[in-house]
Chains A and B, each alone.
Chain A
Amino acid sequence: MGYPEKYPAKYPQLNEMEFTDTARQILIRILRVAFPHEGFPDGPYERQADQIFELANESTWFRIKLTQGIATLNDLAGGSFLGLDDQSATKVLKHVEHTDFFGFIRRTTILNMYEDEAVWEVLGYEGPSFDKGGYVDRGFNDLDWLPDPRVEESQEEFVEIVSDLPVTSGAAPGTDQPTGDAARSSHPGVASTTADQNLTEDN
């Protein structure tokens, strides 16, 4: 990667550091560049950054990776990652995309940022619905730019095997051999359907 490797310290005190507000600004900027959604307000990105810091605080390994990664981004940016425009910042992230540092940020974000109400609102997702009675009376079928399709099965015959090749008999139980047009049924997979409405005693 072209930067000096930094290893876990011999004495844990050496790792007792806190992320500064600048680190937070950089992380938020990383998230904005890596997950650019024009419509998203700041909230989801800020909450995501804070969650990443929380996770990093629980794990020395990730804390070191994060500290190191942020420093590296500034190096790669020739001073300040925060000073880069979107395009240049994306290029810098491309450089580190296969590092544990970026992988940790990416995975954590993918797995969390999209279960956020502010995000849902922008994406047009309505979240939990059972408490509101589901969508049965709230537009589960309100798409109106296509015709209403058939919901029943087709009565046209279904050809299960299409083949002009001879069928080898092998060790098949029984002697019936399907040929090109021998295997047909009206519903795929259903040879016959009984129309009894009642649950039999059997079940």
Chain B
Amino acid sequence: MAQISQDEASVVIIGSGAGGGTLAYELTRAGIPVVVLEAGPHLRNEDYMNLEWEAFNQMAWLDPRTTSGSWRIATDFPNLPAWLVKAVGGTTTHWSGATPRFKAHEFRTRSVYGRVEGANLLDWPITLEELAPYYDRAEKAMGSTHRHGRPPLPANNNYKVLAGGAEKVGYRHYATGPYATNAEPYDGRPATVQDGFNFQGDKNGSKWSTLVRELPRAGETGLLDLRPESQAVQITHGKDGKVDAVIYLDSEGNLHRQAAKVVCVAGNSIETPRLLLMSASSLFPDGLANSSGQVGRNYMRHTTGSVYARFEKEVRMYRGETMSGLIADESRHDPSRGFVGGYYLQMISLGPAFLASFIEPGAWGKEFTELMDAYSRTAGLWIVGEDMPQETNRVTLNSTVQDRHGLPVPDVHFDDHANDVAMREHAYAQSDRVYEAVGALGTHHTPPYPSTHNLGTSRMSERPEDGVTDRWGRTHDVPNLFVSDGSLFTTGAAANPTLTIVALAIRQAEFLVEQLRTGAL
């Protein structure tokens, strides 16, 4: 592991998750030393626990946040808008592994969907064609099943129910992946033991994360200075308007300054805009790189929801991979369904502790306990679909509350768009059909969990007035400041985001290497 002097103007990456971890690996591999500031501790696979709440407490980002808006989260989980990790490897240590690609038209939604009232749709400044080679590299890096020769995972119990129902209602595009967990040993990591604890970190190391792959490999180059428990609180700049350092807090609350020649922010879509907003200065009064006013806006979280179906016979959904199965048929764009964009139905399983907490927040009495009593006979799925970017869905600095360091707490404001509601209703109804086709005794429609997919708050745009970053993720306003995580998403697509975050980071790294080589940066 390298030790880079705090005075040496370096490439500084903030966050070590999907975006930051990938970028760190790609840059060090190309011979560029990097400092990675990671707010959370360095947990390792052996530290993880097979207990839902204890693992959550160990891994999750628990610094206070507030919520506003009409989404149900603001009532049920007012201080937990999102389900994110604060640890080395970021939320890739918590994620489960679904890796579908975006479709071509999902980069061009303004053109293809047309004008949608109240939505701030915009075409991406890049196309699927441009991203395709990076998707290939990302899939190989992550070991996506069903891609590049990686075999599919076997069907587990929960999948048998999902796929059985899918077949009966006439769906065709179901499979156990693509899913970034090893079905057989690959890339130096073992095959899954189907323990069912992906969301709790995966002790076995079969699931891809930047903790098990990119960060250790970056470390092997001798060019990575990874600093856990180092939370960036401000990015500073010189008179020339270029960023020149990152101020960060260590675990004892002491402030440090790391000089920087390039800063890449990858703190996920709540912390990234928070940091840019906290870095406001006289030169950038509305926040760093915010001349468009779009920093923090267009916050997206996918249109989600779950359906849990009860059967007569045992399912035991918790046995095996948590999310290795999906139905893609509804991911098409087909406005005749009453909404634009599409969605996936993906299997999901929660243990009793999480299921009790999330299946119907606020519920008690027989209607609640009947759901729990059916636990071992229950199958579950998760809806994930494209939601509409809206300017008013937004991460801001809460001016009334601060965290223990005296920093403003981020507020996450969200209202569903009518399109989101129509899509969710459609998805609930289709899910019922799927499960009823294989004999469900009853189904329960679970509202969205705290957001696991957080997107769009520093979006890419062709024109500087429409967004925060250009086609490379470089901010329009500050030439040596980059955004390198899901905040970049111009629109959300139906697909789970991580494969795309990784592909964008690989592509951004290539651009950075070239810029640094030619001295442009």
Contact = CB atoms under 8 A, between A and B. Distances in A.
Chain A partners chain B: yes
B319 A194 contact: no
Given A36-B366, A178-B112, A141 B157 contact: yes
Contacts of B365: 34-36, 90, 93
B160 A149 contact: yes
Interface stretch (B81-89, B139-147, B232-240): B139-147
Given A129-B196, A141-B155, A154 B111 contact: no
Interface residues of B, number: 90
Contact of A115 (B157, B194, B353): B353
A135 B175 contact: no
Contacts of A152: 146, 152, 175
Given A141-B320, A160-B104, A199-B187, A129 B175 contact: no
Interface in A77-114: 90, 93, 97, 106, 110-114
Interface string B186-207: 0100001111110000011000
B212 interface: no
A162 B333 contact: yes
Interface stretch (B58-66, B279-287, B293-301, B310-318): B310-318
A158 B315 contact: no
Interface stretch (A15-23, A52-60, A183-191): A183-191
Contact of A134 (B102, B127, B204, B351): B204
Contacts of B353: 111, 114-115
> Chain B binding site: helix, strand, loop or mixed by DSSP?
loop
Contacts of A195: 148-149
A134 B173 contact: no
B140 A161 contact: no
A191 B104 contact: yes
A112 B328 CA distance: 36
B157 A168 contact: no
A153 interface: yes
Given A120-B352, A146-B438, A149-B164, A203 B140 contact: yes
Given A37-B369, A115-B353, A125-B352, A147 B164 contact: yes
Interface in B62-106: 100-105
Contact of B196 (A114, A135, A173, A194): A135
A114 B352 contact: yes
Interface residues of A, number: 81
B484 interface: no
A156 B172 contact: yes
A37 B373 contact: yes
A195 to B, nearest CB: 5
A114 B140 CA distance: 39
A183 B196 contact: no
A128 interface: yes
A196 B148 CA distance: 5
A27 to B, nearest CB: 15
A7 interface: no
Contacts of A25: none
Name the residue in A158, A188, A200 with the highest tally of chain B Cβ atoms < 10 Å from its Cβ. Answer: A188
A22 B204 CA distance: 48
Interface stretch (B48-56, B247-255, B270-278): B48-56
Interface string B119-146: 0000101011000100011001100001
Contact of A171 (B114, B123, B152): B123
A71 interface: no
A202 B137 contact: yes
A188 B147 contact: no
A162 B336 contact: yes
A134 B160 contact: no
Contacts of A115: 51-54, 352-353
Nearest to A113: B356
B160 A148 contact: yes
Contacts of B127: 173-174
A14 interface: no
A138 B376 CA distance: 15
B135 to A, nearest CB: 8
A131 B172 CA distance: 37
Given A97-B364, A189-B103, A129 B123 contact: no
A154 B319 contact: no
B333 A114 contact: no
B376 A154 contact: no
Given A151-B175, A197-B149, A188 B100 contact: yes
B110 interface: yes
Nearest to B164: A146
B495 interface: yes
B511 interface: no
Given A36-B366, A111-B53, A160 B164 contact: no
Contact of A125 (B156, B195, B204, B376): B376
A177 B495 CA distance: 22
B176 interface: yes
B334 interface: yes
A154 B156 CA distance: 18
Contact of B174 (A39, A154, A178, A197): A154
Nearest to A176: B104
A47 to B, nearest CB: 14
Interface in B445-481: 462
Contact of B375 (A125, A154, A171, A193): A125
Contacts of B112: 161, 167, 178
Among all A-B residue pairs, the 8 with the closest Cβ atoms = A134-B193, A124-B376, A128-B50, A134-B195, A149-B163, A140-B320, A172-B111, A189-B101
Given A37-B369, A131-B50, A140-B156, 11 more contacts: A111-B353, A126-B319, A129-B319, A139-B319, A143-B313, A149-B164, A158-B173, A162-B334, A165-B335, A183-B103, A188-B331
11 contacts: A35-B369, A39-B373, A135-B193, A141-B160, A143-B157, A143-B313, A154-B172, A170-B111, A171-B462, A188-B103, A190-B101
Interface of A: 34-39, 90, 93, 97, 106, 110-115, 119-120, 123-131, 133-136, 138-143, 145-154, 156, 158-163, 165, 167-174, 177-178, 183, 185, 187-191, 193-197, 199-200, 202-203
